[in-house]
């Protein structure tokens, strides 16, 4: 039945493969062996999935590798259907609770003065940065917090850490990187110095 819904058995098998292995890339012949389908139908479906944006491709060692695009708009929804694990669905009413859960994780980072959510964590955001953290922070604490958020999200999170002085300077000169984050849809999770309410 799911084959009929998604148009082809090969496409369904490819979605299962990619969505159960986020961050892992495969080349065409490897894929045909793993899903036991003909190479022509695999190539055709890979081309369709690339066009839609579900997967990305990259070449290395004279081979073209494919992997799931974790920043695809419907990535979480597709994981809920195709991944062999329970994915927690997030409705619009649950977004605030999710952000508060992530905020709680970030509050455990000592010396964190500012945290901004964007990208895949804020519906409607076009930012390539999902989390911006500001402060003189321990790399180990940041890595631990981001790993916890990635586990809850079921995908990689793009984050940036800036020392407070550098962030404040960039904000004051209207630096392009900071301006792009603040001009797209975002959510201020932590602002201990109320620096963003003054701008």
**pLDDT tens digit string along 46-74?**
999 999 899 999 988 888 999 998 888 88
What is the signed CA dihedral for 130, 158, 84, 36, rounded to 10 degrees? 130
pLDDT band at residue 95, thresholds of 50, 70 and 90?
Answer: very low
pTM of the model: 0.62
Q: What is the pLDDT of residue 198?
A: 56
Q: Residues 71, 78: contact at Cβ < 8 Å?
A: no
Q: What is the pLDDT of residue 194?
A: 86
At 128-179, the pLDDT tens digits run 899 999 999 999 999 999 999 988 888 889 999 999 999 989 988 989 999 8
Q: Residues 130, 118: contact at Cβ < 8 Å?
A: yes
Q: What is the pLDDT of residue 3?
A: 53
What kind of fold does domain 2-82 have according to CATH? Answer: Arc Repressor Mutant, subunit A (1.10.10)
Q: What is the pLDDT of residue 89?
A: 45
Q: Tell me phi and psi for residue 67, to 5 degrees.
A: -150, 160
Q: What is the pLDDT of residue 98?
A: 53
Q: What is the pLDDT of residue 196?
A: 79
Q: What is the pLDDT of residue 133?
A: 95
Provide the CATH number for the domain formed by 92-191 in this structure.
3.30.460
Average pLDDT over residues 77-92: 62
pLDDT band at residue 112, thresholds of 50, 70 and 90?
Answer: very high
Residue 182 has pLDDT above 80, yes or no: yes
Q: What is the pLDDT of residue 91?
A: 41
Average pLDDT over residues 101-112: 89
Residue 93 has pLDDT above 50, yes or no: no
pLDDT band at residue 38, thresholds of 50, 70 and 90?
Answer: very high
Catalogue the long-range contacts made by 125-129 (C-beta closer than 8 Å, 24 or more residues apart).
125/184, 125/185, 125/186, 126/184, 126/185, 127/180, 127/181, 127/184, 127/185, 127/186, 128/158, 129/158, 129/159, 129/160, 129/181
Domain regions of the chain by residue span: 2-82, 92-191
């Amino acid at each position: 039945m799911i084959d009929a819904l998604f148009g082809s058995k090969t496409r369904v098998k490819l979605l299962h493969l990619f969505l159960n292995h986020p961050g892992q890339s495969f080349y065409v012949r490897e894929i045909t062996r793993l899903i036991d389908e003909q190479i022509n139908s695999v190539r055709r479906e890979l081309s369709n999935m690339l066009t839609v944006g579900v997967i990305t491709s990259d070449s290395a060692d004279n081979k073209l590798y494919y992997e799931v695009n974790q920043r695809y708009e419907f990535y979480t929804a597709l994981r809920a259907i195709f991944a062999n694990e329970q994915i927690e669905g997030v409705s619009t009413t649950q977004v605030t609770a999710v952000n508060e859960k992530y905020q709680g994780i970030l509050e455990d980072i000592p010396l964190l003065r500012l945290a901004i959510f964007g990208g895949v964590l804020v519906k409607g955001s076009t930012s390539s940065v999902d989390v911006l953290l500001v402060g003189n922070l321990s790399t180990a604490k940041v890595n631990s917090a981001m790993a916890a958020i990635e586990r809850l999200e079921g995908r990689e999170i793009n984050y940036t850490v800036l020392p407070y002085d550098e962030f404040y300077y960039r904000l004051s000169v209207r630096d392009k990187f900071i301006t792009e984050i603040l001009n797209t849809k975002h959510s201020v999770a932590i602002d201990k110095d109320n620096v963003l309410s003054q701008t």
